[in-house]
Structure 1
Amino acid sequence: MSVIVVSGTGTEIGKTVVTSAIAAAAAAAGRSVAVLKPAQTGLEPGVPGDAADAARLAGPSVTAVELARYPEPLAPDTAARRAGLPTLSPAEIAEAADKLAASHDLVLVEGAGGLLVRFDEAGHTLADAARLLDAPVLVVAPAALGTLNSTTLTAEALRARQLAALGVVIGSWPADPDLACRCNLADLPSSSGLPLLGAVPEGSGALAPEEFRAAAPAWLDPSLGGTWSARSFLAAWPAG
């Protein structure tokens, strides 16, 4: 895979940290990596965004690219309209990703919020960009109550659009997971129809970059460049 689209079931669920972990594992394996953030919302100019944060955590060799920035923490289409700034089309996102793929082994395209958040006035979403790229989508999901519904809805949306889904990574696994988290861990694959491909411990984004890079492969399935095992993880956190 030269391009992976990283989406989520919502906002603030760990997409950037998961993206950073995949980038770190790939860079450690000697691959050239780029992180593309099509639309950064909620930040003023000059403040490091998600792409820059991913590169900080994953390593200095990782290329960070941001296509558009809107100051208010809203959906890209709404934020662009309120700021009087141009929106992004799926074609622009796909063109930028293809250009990066020509000079990098792996390009990670991190969405904004969930899969169907609007990017422009026509209602285009990250799913439309994934279709143009013919790229698989990795779903980042929370562990807590409610994740079965949101993850399954995201998986159904991918299937309805005939988009390939790699699987699910839990963006922030609690240090002391409650019963709902442990049950969700076991139920997510059957509910969503997607395999579990990793779990990132909560607070990982606050690690020093060197610690983050050293730990990242242990959070990810081998298909994402790591050493994580769903079977072992499930055995370590039984529903009881």
Structure 2
Amino acid sequence: MTLATFYGGSVATWQRVLGDELHYHHGLFADGDDLADALRRAVRVLYPYLPHGARVLDVGCGWGGPLAMLVEERGCAATGVTISSTQRHHAAVRGLDVRCVDVETVAELGRFDVALLLESFEHIVDKAALLARLRGCASRIVLRVNCQDHAPAGVRFGGTMHMVDSRTLRALLEAAGWRIWVWRDRRPASLASQPAWRERLRRLPPDVVAGDEHLATFLGWVEDVMRDQRAWAQANPLLEIVAD
């Protein structure tokens, strides 16, 4: 299955799992938060690095949840890119500027103040090449990345994620010429995401999950993580990085 097909499932079904705003990333929870609150907070904590009115390239923008927040709350001139025509169509219906391209092969990305990769860098195959390209088209890069520190680099999540450890990620950024000035692990605040996703995925009819490779992969991953979430969290940081 291609990455474009993997992200081409039913929007209505994904809304049952992710919520109406379709944020497909971990939430960052504070006391009293539900998943929707935590998902919005996960974007808003990045606002200090995304100036009002900035030209932002949202790489792997999905169905447009974070992109809409940047436009509506920060007044950003925000452009999203996704490899999925289904995601692009949904975002376009919402009035968002989204291009359906493979960011690793498209000839021209444009010029931006900030490149944002919100749990999308995992899908990039040639990470060094993309970081170098983004260095040429954006003045700043803001990432939140799931790393795999206690296992060899490899392909995960239905063959769609190309995982690296945090040391390798830092080396790749620095080799591409990025100067890192924020580096923090957001995993502890994100852990309530997984039980919330598991509950919603389990509510779907089993035949719907079994008939969609992405949903089946997602549920299988959540179930694996929840067997020993604390150990998994220690081995797999969720890194928030800002570099100029």
Q: TM-score range by the shorter chain?
A: 0.3 to 0.5
**TM-score, normalised by the number of residues in structure 2:** 0.40
